[in-house]
Amino acid sequence: MKIVVLDGYVANPGDLSWEGLASQGELVLYDRTAADQIVVRAADADAIFVNKVVITADIIAQLPRLKFIGELATGYNNIDIAAAHAAGITVCNVPGYSGDSVAQLVFAFILAHSNKVNEYNASVWRGDWCRCPDFSYLLGPITELAGTTIGIYGLGNIGGKIAAIAHAFGMHVISSTSKPAEAIAPYVERVAFEDMLARADYISINAPLSASNRGLFGAETICKMKPTAMLINTARGPIVDSAALAEALRQGVIAAAAVDVLDVEPPTADNPLLAHDIADRLIITPHIAWESVAARQRLLAISASNLAAFIAGTPVNRVLP
């Protein structure tokens, strides 16, 4: 079996091993693959693995030997699943591998904002503490999380972990989930989406991207949030309207935001969220929530297991149209 990894660098920049895949056939690794290189590089592959490389119906039609596509991620919107299914190609993703890491970043954002970590650190390095007549000083209010409300949009594996951490902090957890009450933790209150917007001090977006939620957090939605609220997106960039969020921060419609994902990655320099006049209200990280060593180790291990199960005729984590 020939196995081709088309864009493996981000998942494994060299600090981990590809042995799990290499042990199952001839493995060819590419750090990155441009759109016009896909067909040539995958032409004689039985199995390919992709992270962000887009596999369209046209590409699938040009790869008659291909039998397996492994998504090196949980989200699979870069693969035409229907076309793959029609061609008899099995597609498998890696669910649940990064839940702890993503939840951790969500609270890194929340704590940095509530405790003004960046502002105080910068102040100390400017010499403000050295010049202070007192042992301590305030740059603004520090918020205690206990008693505040977090709204979770997308109460799956990651959303559930965020809910558990929030509960441990003494936060009230609400979600617009469609799951029945018996399927969610007893400390999560199910509410209507509009109620979540109105009540939450923090809103965490953790849903997969779909046609129904693309641009969902736009001007009309954001304006229904509290003016003191913080919006957090560690899911998919297009769920948030970047221009609308930038303007909401500029006008003080909400107090702050933190995003690990953008609608185009890497972003262009003119992305509305890269405007310097909103930098003091916005935290941006470069899609790193999933990038912990532990999460990436799980990603590679589960990807190898997915291929092994397919070879054995018992595919797991299969994605269907």
Residue 306 to residues 45, 274, 299, 311, Cα–Cα distance (Å): 16, 38, 10, 9
Q: What are residue 28's phi and psi, to 5 degrees? A: -120, 125
Q: What is the pTM of this model?
A: 0.90
Q: Which strand ranges, in their side-by-side order, compose the sheet holding 188-190?
A: 188-190, 172-175, 149-153, 202-205, 230-233, 256-259, 282-284
* CATH level 3 topology of 99-284: Rossmann fold (3.40.50)
Which pLDDT score is estimated for 109?
Answer: 98
Q: In one letter, which amino acid is 208? A: P
Q: Of the listed 236, 281, 296, 298, which one is catalytic?
A: 236
Which pLDDT score is estimated for 203?
Answer: 98
Which pLDDT score is estimated for 60?
Answer: 98
Say whether 99-284 and 2-97+293-311 share the same fold. yes
What's the longest Cα–Cα distance across the chain? Answer: 75
What sign results for the dihedral spanned by CA atoms 245, 248, 253, 257? positive
- Write down the domain spans for the chain: 2-97+293-311, 99-284
Known catalytic residue at 287: yes
* 38, 53 Cβ separation under 8 angstroms: yes
Q: What is the mean pLDDT of each run of 10 residues along the chain (321 residues)?
A: 97 97 97 98 98 97 98 93 97 95 98 96 97 95 97 95 98 95 94 97 94 96 98 96 98 98 95 96 97 97 98 97 91
Which pLDDT score is estimated for 114?
Answer: 97
Which pLDDT score is estimated for 181?
Answer: 86
- The answer regarding whether domain 2-97+293-311 maps to CATH 3.20.20.70 reads no
Known catalytic residue at 119: no
Q: Of the listed 41, 85, 167, 287, which one is catalytic?
A: 287
Q: Of the listed 144, 220, 265, 318, which one is catalytic?
A: 265
